[in-house]
Amino acid sequence: MPIFSAHLALHLLLCSCLALLAASPARAQKPPEEEKPQALQLAPEAPDSVKAETARLAYLSLPVEQRGLLSRQVEESMKNLRRLLGKRKVARITAWVGGAGDTRRVSMTIRELLAKWRIPIPAIIVVRVGALPNPASRVAFDVEVEEADAVNPHGLMFLAGVRSVSPEFRFDIAAEVGHSLDALERHLAGESAKPEDALRVRCFVSLTEDMQSLERAVAKRFPNARVRVLQSVRSSPESYANCDLVARLRSAPSQPIEARVLTPREKEAPITSLTKTNAPTLALTSGQLGFRASDADLALAFERLEATLKTAGSSLANAVQLSILADTVDLGRRAEAQGRKYLDARHDPAILGVTVEDLPALDATFSLDAVAVRR
């Protein structure tokens, strides 16, 4: 009887093992669960405009990167911005692309990185120029920020671009840059301001052999300013410099907006306007692209900019600064003529008109951006 029981137990054990082996392939051949589709996370769009307190508006120039392609330099520059921010709030970023690369990717990269770091997306302007001072650099960034404390207690002054043209073509344009800066400095003095009060100075120049020396010369004259020197296009039949600036006021104007058209001296480069404001807040717009070149196309672009400013609680009639960046000189002049229909002649804004190499859209021919007082 014990022998029979042992044989029976062994038989049952073998049957169980065979059953398990038979079931294993069935379990192994069970179809895998269907993978769920992953939603593509799109970078948030840049706002059409942002508001900033006039008393706290300040300017940063990020360290210029020299290694890698455009995408790497954009990424490294944004990392530098993240480190520099502290308690500051980014209001607007302007990217000056001077090398090869897809300008359309620049804004997207900025937005992706800032969104990843949970930094609010600012207004953004992207423009391709002819060249940057350092040939190894593919992009340079200017950043407008809100400081934690008031740094402009009496308000800001905007001086329009002063364009100085050489009577003959040449690569050495130090004299033209000097003439433009002379006019800006003289107008500062007329408002009881000093070169040390300049917060940002930009010079757009023609083809030249040494932009770095020009950049040093500008920085020497305006020691506290964020300086930017750019070759506006790769080639030009003229030799010129076009410089503008923003400065801190030493005394508050009597009105939220004060402006006057400046009459040039004999043989002096013309300047459109000097504008002062101590209004509590400003609206800063992103770059708004225009397409084609008819008068109707130009008018449509200004209508869009006007709609953007109205949504922000302002208008072109309250603009203190206006930039017109076009791909030809003639288009820029015609755009300014169209834009004047929307401006208030009593306080003409400081206008910067510059011809640039390219814009971040295949058919774009010009870009508009503005700073306007919010009512």
**12-16, 181-185, 199-203, 348-352: range with lowest mean pLDDT:** 12-16
Classify the C-alpha dihedral 215-95-56-303 as positive or negative: positive
- The arithmetic mean of pLDDT across residues 291-312, rounded, is 96
Among candidate residues 257, 278, 299, the one where a domain is terminated? 278
Asked whether residue 287 falls in the same domain as residue 372, the answer is yes
Average pLDDT rounded to a whole number, residues 48-62: 96
pLDDT digits over 109-126, tens only? 999 999 999 999 999 999
Alpha helices by DSSP H, the chain: 2-28, 70-85, 104-116, 174-190, 211-221, 295-311, 329-339
If asked whether residues 238 and 304 sit together in one domain, one would say: no
pLDDT at site 184: 93
Q: Give the model's confidence band at 4: pLDDT under 50 very low, under 70 low, under 90 confident, else very high.
A: very low
3-state DSSP assignment of residue 231: strand
Same domain? 171 vs 142: no
27: which 2 tokens?
A: 């379990």
Sort strands 156-165 and 198-205 into parallel, antiparallel or unpaired: unpaired
**Residues 290 and 348 both lie in one domain:** yes
Residues 160 and 110 in one domain: no
Q: What is the pLDDT of residue 346?
A: 79
Query: Of 254, 278, 302, which residue is a domain's last?
Result: 278
**pLDDT at residue number 40:** 52
User: pLDDT value at position 348?
Assistant: 83
**264 and 355 share a domain?**
no
Cα distance between residue 107 and residue 93, in whole Å: 9
Please determine, for residue 30, whether its predicted confidence score (pLDDT) is greater than 70: no
What pLDDT, on the 0 to 100 scale, is given for residue 165?
93
| CB-CB contact of 245 with 182 (8 Å) | no
Q: List the single range of 21-35, 136-150, 203-217, 302-316 with lowest mean pLDDT.
A: 21-35
Q: Are residues 64 and 80 in the same domain?
A: yes
Say if residue 136 is in the same domain as residue 200.
Answer: no
Closest to 211 (Cα-Cα) out of 332, 129, 266: 129
In whole angstroms, what separates CA 348 from the centre of its chain? 23
Q: To the nearest whole number, what is the mean pLDDT of the chain?
A: 89
Q: Write out pLDDT tens, residues 266-283.
A: 555 555 589 999 999 999
CA distances from 234 to 30, 237, 349 (A): 64, 11, 29
Same domain, yes or no, for 330 and 273? no
- Per-residue CA distances from 137 to 77, 260, 271, 277, 375 (Å): 11, 38, 31, 35, 40
Residue 26 has pLDDT above 50, yes or no: no
Are both 190 and 305 inside the same structural domain?
Answer: no
Residue 299 domain-assigned (yes or no): yes
225-252 residues labelled b (16+ CB within 10 A) or e (exposed): bbbbbbbbbeebebbbbbbbbbbbbeee
Flag whether pLDDT at 28 surpasses 50. no
Residue 99 pLDDT more than 90?
no
Q: Is residue 251 part of a domain?
A: yes
CATH classification of the domain holding 172: 3.30.1330.40
What pLDDT digit, counting tens, does each position of 221-264 carry? 999 999 999 999 999 999 999 999 999 999 999 999 998 876 65
- Between β-strands 198-205 and 226-231, what pairing exists: parallel, antiparallel or unpaired? parallel
Q: Of 247, 278, 309, which residue constitutes the final position of a domain?
A: 278
Q: Is residue 6 part of a domain?
A: no
Query: What is the predicted pLDDT for the residue at 7?
Result: 55
In a domain, 26, yes or no: no
Query: How many domains are contained in the chain?
Result: 3
- The one-letter amino acid at 183: A
Q: For residue 27, what pLDDT is reported?
A: 47
- Write the single-letter amino acid at 211: M
Indicate if the pLDDT at residue 88 is higher than 70: yes
Say if 25 falls within a structural domain: no
Q: What is the pLDDT of residue 98?
A: 94
What is the mean pLDDT of the segment spanning 340-366?
91
pLDDT over 70 (residue 147): yes
What residues make up the domain containing 59? 45-151
Residue 168 is predicted with a pLDDT of 94
In percent, the amount of the chain with pLDDT more than 90 equals 76
Stretch 130-140: mean pLDDT, rounded? 94
Q: In this structure, is residue 321 part of a structural domain?
A: yes
Q: What percent of the chain has pLDDT over 70?
A: 86
185 in a structural domain: yes
> Is there a domain that residue 98 lies in?
yes
Q: Both tokens of residue 222?
A: 């305006």
Q: What's the rounded Cα separation, in Å, for the pair 134 and 177?
A: 18
375: tokens are 């009512």
Query: Rounded to a whole number, what is the distance in angstroms from the first to the last CA of the chain?
Result: 107
Q: How far is CA 56 from the centre of its chain?
A: 19
Give the global pTM.
0.86
Report the pLDDT value the prediction gives residue 46, as an integer from 0 to 100.
Answer: 95
Q: Given this model, what pLDDT does residue 271 score? A: 52
169 and 182 both lie in a single domain: yes
217 in the same domain as 171? yes
Residue type, 137: S
Q: What does the alpha-carbon distance between residue 269 and residue 334 come to, in Å, rounded to a whole number?
A: 20
Region of 7 on the Ramachandran plot (φ > 0 left; ψ -120 to 50 alpha; else beta)? alpha
Residue 78's pLDDT is 97
- Length of the chain in residues, anyone? 375
Listed range (24-28, 80-84, 205-209) with the worst mean pLDDT? 24-28
Comparing 201-215, 305-319, 340-354, the range with the smallest average pLDDT is 340-354
Higher local confidence (pLDDT), 23 or 219:
219
pLDDT at 282: 98
Query: What residues contact 356, with CB distance under 8 A and at least 6 apart?
Result: 127, 128, 129, 232, 233, 325, 326, 327, 367
